[in-house]
Amino acid sequence: MEMNELLIYTLKSALVLALLYLPYTLMLRRERFFRLNRATLLSILVLAVVLPWCRVSYSVEADEVVTTVIETQDLALRTEAMIVEANQWGVWQWLAFLYIIGVAIAFGYRLYQLLLVRRVIVRGSLWQQREADGITVYCHAGDEPSFSWMRSIVISQQDYEQNAREVLLHEQAHIRCRHSFDILLVSLIEVLQWWNPVVYLLDKSLRDVHEFEADDYVLQQGVSLPVYQTLLVRKAVQGTSLAFVNNFNRSSVRKRIEMMRRPPSKPWMRSKVLYVVPILALTLVVSARPVFEPLILLDGEEISGDHLKPFPKDSIDHVDILKGVSATTFYGEKGRGGAVIIATKKTSPAGANDIVYDVADEMPKFPGGDAAFAQYMAHHVRYPLVAAKKGVKGTVSVQFIVEPDGRITHVHAIDTPSEEVDAEVHTYGASDKHPSQDENDEGHRALREAAEELYRGMPPFEPGRKQGKPVRVRMTRAVRYC
């Protein structure tokens, strides 16, 4: 995955995380559904990782599209294209670079914390004891905070002498519920989204649920509520030991005591978790890629794709393809997916006059003149990623016909040397090598295809004229890439 693509991924992931987590804080955070809340938070983390990879597309016809949804999708796709297609070190590239540096630093810090946990568990241990269920208890000197990690429990000598049962039950609950694996997962997301404050809020919510779940387990084992709450208040002044571990006094004591006193939530309130469904649907709809059905015209008559299957291919004179502004200018919303114009050998789009002129009294012009053409090229020329990766540079000459109605047809890259081009050359860097010198090379082929695509998508020209009448005119222009 390239830097730009990684940046796009983490932005999408952060958006999904925020959309799914914020409603949780309003609807489920105060409910006593500890397992459900924990499962919901973990599901949000997993969905934030997986959903940005999902590519959903659907086929639509232009007149069936809800305009607001399509405009939102177009905005998302344009933003993604702006990041991916940029080929110079601009703002997005620097952001991607800084993001990767942040990921490396965050990963190194988390790895250091993980190694530190293991060292702290073993270091300074007065004695250790392996329980029947495979849990190992390490007793440390003094009154250090007790904690657990994976299948190890660290308990201070003072806690072991005064409150061994309550503390060990609490830490055993963390181990049996496998809370350490939850911490590893959320830590991984924090590495990937180190800049996102929402992921740290979710981390705190998940750790709160861990403590609620462990406290509930302790009380179910017969420990007195007043005794246990007094222990929590007394231990609150100790602080915490390590960021990674499940600490006995990790979360706010006030919140934990309030949750213990809260009456059980009504079963029907579990249905609140269904808020995830419409948000997921919204996320998929906004990120979906609409595939518009192209408009197909056969000798000027609109037909469906099914009618082309029995059509004899040897009767086709030529096929023109319009995209973008060219298609919508002539055919409106019907041309949003492009237009395929098929002319048979009996007809021609120019009517009775099929002559193509290389020179006319008035040559075709880009709407708005040369300045508008230069501006259009500056905004629409894109260096193909394939060519950029292979270091391929050069000039592509493109020949096309401007029809009497201004449409650009018969677009194809040619091998004409750049000095023979009869119009201005738009420079996208310095000329290095003509792409046609190695037509089979993937990079050169990508340049040719990109140049053809550029001209096919242009808006209609002002047509050329011969003796005052619009005629078909053949033109050649070039694009330089570097």
Task: Say yes or no to pLDDT of 427 above 50.
Answer: no
Mean pLDDT of 423-451: 59
Tokens of 112: 């250091």
Least confident of 79-83, 141-145, 309-313, 424-428: 424-428
**CA-to-CA separations, 434 to 119, 357, 400, 447, in angstroms, rounded:** 62, 27, 19, 10
Least confident of 12-26, 119-133, 302-316, 331-345: 302-316
CB atoms within 10 A of CB 386: 16
d(CA 63, CA 61): 6
pLDDT digits (tens, 9 = 90+) for 32-74: 999 999 999 999 999 999 988 877 665 655 444 444 444 444 5
Longest Cα–Cα distance in the chain = 108
**CA-to-CA separations, 199 to 64, 203, 307, 375, 430, in angstroms, rounded:** 38, 6, 53, 42, 46
Task: Say yes or no to pLDDT of 375 above 60.
Answer: yes
d(CA 138, CA 119): 12
pLDDT at site 480: 83
Mean residue pLDDT of the chain comes to 81
Of residues 144 and 194, more confidently modeled: 194
Residues 7, 10, 11, CA angle at the centre, nearest 5°?
85
Residues 6 or more apart from 280 whose CB is under 8 A from it?
20, 47, 51
Phi (first) and psi of residue 106, to 5 degrees: -65, -40
Number of H helices, E strands in the chain: 14, 17
d(CA 396, CA 418): 8
pLDDT at site 465: 92
Tokens of 278: 């419409």
Mean pLDDT of 325-344: 71
pLDDT digits (tens, 9 = 90+) for 164-196: 999 999 999 999 999 999 999 999 999 999 999
Residues 6 or more apart from 438 whose CB is under 8 A from it?
444
d(CA 444, CA 397): 12
Beta bridge partners of 402: 408, 473
Does the pTM of the predicted model rise above 0.85?
no
Tokens of 411: 């677009």
Burial 222-260 (b: 16+ CB within 10 A, else e): ebeeeebbebbeebeebeebbebbbbbbbbebeebbebb
**CA-to-CA separations, 354 to 103, 338, 346, 351, 357, in angstroms, rounded:** 62, 25, 12, 7, 10
pLDDT at site 337: 72
Mean pLDDT of 265-278: 92
pLDDT digits (tens, 9 = 90+) for 103-142: 999 999 999 999 999 899 988 889 999 988 899 999 998 8
Structural domains in the chain, sorted by start = 3-286 (no CATH), 293-347 (no CATH), 356-482 (3.30.1150)
**Alpha carbon 253 to chain centroid, angstroms:** 39
d(CA 435, CA 447): 7
The letter for the amino acid at 32 is R
pLDDT at site 379: 83
pLDDT at site 64: 45
Mean pLDDT of 140-148: 86
